[in-house]
Amino acid sequence: MMAKTDWQMGDTVLPDDLNQIGQEINQNRDNLAAHTAATTGVHGATSTATPNTIIQRDSAGRAKVAAPAAADDIARKDTVDAVQTNLTNHTAATTGVHGATSAATPNTIVQRDAQGRIKAAAPAAADDVARKAEVDAHASRTDNPHGVTKAQVGLGNVPNYPAASQAQAEAGADNATLMTPLRTKQYVDTRLQNGLTLRDHNGTVERWNQQKGGWEPVAAVFPVGQPRSATLSLTDEQNNAYYTVLDISGVSGRLEFVRAQVSNNGPGHVFYMRVTVDGKSDEISVQSTTTSTLFLDYLVRPYGGSSSNLVGDVSDPIYFQNSVKVEIKKTGARLSATIRYRLAAGTP
Q: How far, CA to CA in Å, does 139 sit from each of 134, 147, 275?
A: 9, 14, 61
**Per-domain residue ranges for the chain?**
219-343
Q: What are the angstrom distances between the C-alpha of 249 and each of 39, 174, 216? A: 139, 50, 21
What is the chain's pLDDT, residue by residue, as a tens digit (348 residues)?
Answer: 677 788 899 888 888 888 888 888 888 898 788 788 777 778 878 888 889 888 888 888 888 899 898 989 898 989 889 889 988 888 888 787 888 888 889 988 888 888 888 898 989 898 888 888 888 888 888 888 888 887 888 877 778 889 989 888 877 788 889 889 988 877 776 665 555 555 666 666 666 665 556 666 665 567 889 999 999 999 888 999 999 999 999 999 989 889 999 888 889 999 999 999 988 888 999 999 988 888 888 887 654 444 444 434 455 688 888 999 999 999 988 899 999 999 999 998
Give Cα 346 distance to the centre of its chain: 67
- Count CB-CB contacts under 10 A for residue 312: 10
Domain 219-343 is found in CATH 2.60.120: yes
pTM above 0.85, yes or no: no
